[in-house]
């Protein structure tokens, strides 16, 4: 079982997908939003939730008895997305990548998995890869849209899988083949959960507690089936599948 530190956790989509493989266990979250922390505490009772990635360090987790094998997370996309000011990693929100890479450097995990909008391919990916290289990591990346697993929307996202330099890894062929199969065929492992493209969630404040928060944070979450796909490829490459 690979232990996971989930950064920028949101409502836990990354951890949900990885844990569905049966080979990953989240041992700590880091999430600044109070509503998201309540969701995480409900579904992962007893798992520590750190609030501020700016303050989190390997020493703090070591003091709490934690040394994760995997660090994952989708760092903020507001400065990378075409809908924003397009400041890239120079922006205050997407610039939090600095702390993501800092923690990878401090922990030196077996694997790091990074997610962001597809626009990072031309607005920050070179910097991300350079930062990973500087702290001793090689990486591969794939753009996998949500519609490949049956969602009624495109939602293209870039997924980066990094591992220490000099360690042979074979994720790429497995992930690339699985992604290509998804693009061509129906999802092979789980029936599509979406029956209609019509939203059943009201997008305005109608007086129901947490309705707007739920809508917003669902929109920010990763689609769990894609981390599940990546997680299965990692387990195969690590020789951890049964």
Question: Catalytic annotation on 77?
Answer: yes
| Fold for the domain defined by 2-237 | Rossmann fold (3.40.50)
Domain range summary for the chain, segments of one domain joined by +: 2-237
- Would you say how long the chain is, in residues? 242
Report pLDDT for 188.
Answer: 42
Average pLDDT over residues 51-62: 97
Distance CA 141, CA 197 (A): 29
Q: Which DSSP symbol is given to 222?
A: -
Average pLDDT over residues 70-75: 97
The pLDDT-based confidence of 211 (bands split at 50, 70, 90) is low
Catalytic residue among 30, 36, 77, 158, which?
A: 77
To the nearest whole number, what is the mean pLDDT of the chain? 84
Distance CA 226, CA 232 (A): 10
Identify which of 91-105, 135-149, 151-165, 182-196 has the greatest average pLDDT.
91-105
Query: What pLDDT, in 10s, does the model give residues 117-155?
Result: 999 999 999 999 999 999 999 998 988 888 777 777 778
Q: 94 pLDDT exceeds 70?
A: yes
């Amino acid at each position: 079982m690979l232990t996971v530190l989930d950064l920028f956790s949101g409502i836990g989509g990354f951890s949900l997908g990885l844990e569905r493989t049966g080979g990953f266990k989240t041992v700590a979250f880091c999430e600044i939003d109070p509503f998201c922390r309540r969701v995480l505490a409900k579904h992962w009772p007893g798992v520590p939730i750190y609030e501020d990635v700016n303050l989190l360090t390997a020493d703090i987790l070591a003091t709490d008895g934690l040394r994760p094998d995997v660090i994952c997370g989708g760092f903020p996309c507001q400065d990378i997305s075409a809908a924003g000011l397009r400041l890239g990693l120079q922006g205050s929100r997407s610039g939090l990548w600095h702390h993501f890479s800092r923690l990878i450097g401090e922990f030196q995990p077996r694997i790091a998995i990074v997610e962001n909008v597809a626009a990072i391919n031309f607005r920050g990916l070179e910097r991300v890869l350079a930062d990973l290289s500087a702290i001793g990591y090689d990486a591969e990346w794939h753009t996998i849209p949500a519609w490949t697993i049956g969602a009624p929307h495109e939602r293209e996202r870039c997924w980066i899988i990094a591992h220490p330099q000099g360690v042979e890894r074979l994720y790429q062929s497995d992930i690339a083949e699985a992604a290509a199969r998804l693009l061509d065929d129906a999802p092979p492992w789980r029936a599509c959960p979406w029956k209609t493209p019509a939203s059943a969630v009201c997008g305005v404040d109608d007086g129901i507690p947490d309705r707007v928060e739920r809508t917003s944070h669902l929109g920010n979450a990763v689609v769990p089936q894609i981390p599940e796909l990546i997680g299965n490829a990692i387990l195969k490459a690590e020789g951890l599948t049964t």
